[in-house]
Structure 1
Amino acid sequence: MFKRLNRYLIFLLFTFLLLGTQTGVWAVLLADLVAAIQISESQIGIGLMIHSLIGLLSAYIGGKIADKVSRKVVLLFAFFGAAVFYIALTFIDSFYLLLLIFAVGGIFVSFYDLIANTLGGDYESDHNQPILTPLHACFSVGAAIGSFSTGILISSGVDYTNIYMIVALLLFLMGIAAIFVKKERKTPDEIVEEQVKINKKFFISLSILIPSLLIWFTFFIENALEGFLSLYLREALDFSSVMGGTAIGVFHVASLVGLLVSALVIMKWKQNKVLLCCGIIVLIGLLALIVLPTPLLTTVGLFLIGFALAPITPIAFSIASKISNQRRSEAVSIVTIFGYLAFLLAPLTIGILGDTLSLRVAFTLLIGCAMFIILLSLFVYKRKELRVG
């Protein structure tokens, strides 16, 4: 999976592992936070929307800072700022304080997401080694560790504020490590730069547009399924709670399996081939889920979707990272913004179509997204300057 491990690569692995861990903790403890301060679902929804909107706006600013000033500045803001954010969560006692802390926290969480993918892209460019997929696999492992361990701690009677403090401590320790870690770069003589005779502006535009659209369609499918899959299985398809829970569990397990398998396959295949195969498999899975909704085919379809959808995100960031070092963070930030937009719009779009028509009809929109992923994958496959890996 890795040609060789070094201190900086180990640091990147722990960066993605902790990013996933804090994401898992965050998702599980939202219910405890809501119960503790006794706010409504609509109020926590407003808080999460503000958190995402601030993150969307700050992603681009963070990209500019990383490119014009320093990667390490954004990295330190990400670790120490996120640590302060998790400490602040323990002091929330009202809806308005929640809005303030969620808004500020959105800046640092966005910085963390941005700089992790930027540094992964830097490493790929410096060492000609496709590591973003295994790094995203570390994220998924971290998310599983965070969610499972949080559930165990809560059921054991540990107060949710103590878990927030543990996450803050881990982030603070990573921030200290970030101060001393040195980025391992190849010397100019060791870096082999492929000279592509194309218009520079055209290349930069494609290198941002293609991965941005890939992320848009991928996140749209993911967030539509995360928001409405349970309703679709149990109400639209009349699945039992056991069958519905099993199918959803299969989807999440398949995502981790897909990242791990693709990380190994990429060593033999180029990433553009993996990307095209992923798009085709996602389409097959969605057809099984929507067109042929039997319990067995639905479960198989969800496995195929989760398995093939997960690797698309790191490959898209790899494409964006082909931009020169001076523009890489900006490119990654734009791709990240497209992800945030899909995250915000997917539930709204599917919800409106589901109310107006039906969830099954609304989910056919996801088939269209998969078709666009395949078209974009074919474009990447045929254009030499956009190939990765």
Structure 2
Amino acid sequence: MNTQHNVVDFGRREFRVEASRFAFAVRARSVWVSIALVAVIIVFGVTSMTIGAYDVSFGEVLRALFDPTTDPDTRQVVFEWRFPRVLFAILCGGALALSGGIFQSLTRNPLGSPDIIGFGVGAQFGVTLMMVALGLNTYMYKAAGALVGGLITALLVYVLAMKRTVSSFRLIIVGIGVSAGLGSLTSWILISVSVEKAMMAATWGAGSLASLGFDQLLPAAGVFVLVALAALPLNRTLPVLEMGDDAATALGVHTGRTRFTAMVLGVALVALVTAAAGPISFIALAAPQISQRLLRTNTPMGTVPLMLTGSALVVVSDTVAQFMMVPVGVVTVSVGGLYLAWLLATQYARRA
């Protein structure tokens, strides 16, 4: 197998891998951006593991991770308690970023993320029903509630937005309305139950990675790998679909089937995160746009660099949240709100 990089005729540097059975090319910029994002994840991930009631230095964290003979108490704190939280941050960020890329590419609009068009709120509503109304608080039940709630919300939004064709602007407006309605229903449920159940749901609803261990991580990681592998073909078909249905059909893309598959996989990724950590808002909105600008591409859809961007955002946000002693959802909402305001202002300025 030979690996080489060269300059193609339009001046883009690529790394090419050639073997007897396969050959592929990777943009050099994607490689360097991915390496930089991995470095950010490692630095902030290790830093986050030094924070807590039990003081651990940067070097002690590294020794606890790689040296089984280190101090047992330190290794338990770092490896068994704090390391799963970092891994969960990486997983949640990657899942939300990929979901955001799918929906933004599907709607051809940077505002078309599950946070804005209501699918995340639908997943949150499903989990709230499971936890509060039915008293089912295990991960599998919450995952089922999040998936069903997100899919029903997606179907409702698409039906209400349908008028011969689905306009991205109409989809976003309808999604905002449905999201507001589901938010009101969630609030009504919480004020109708006992204080203990309402507090439990409210704590989960803040979006937190605390108290998550390997028991929750392993099944979540398994589901994430399966969904991410199923979403790989969308990296090729969704950018084609962005050119319009006629062009996509002419190039052999089944538009209806592609849209349905993308919607189901995008909602599944949101449900995966919502069930485990609660609603972590605005990562799905911001990560695809940041990744698109880092890679200098024309589509928010991507795979490895996109997911690494989301992972880096959540790891950095969770580190800040631990310093401030607040749930990570509070940090992402605060920063994401400012980002949304900037995005709306720039979108308006371009149209003016």
TM superposition score normalised by structure 1: 0.35
Which one has the bigger strand percentage? 2
Higher helix share: 1
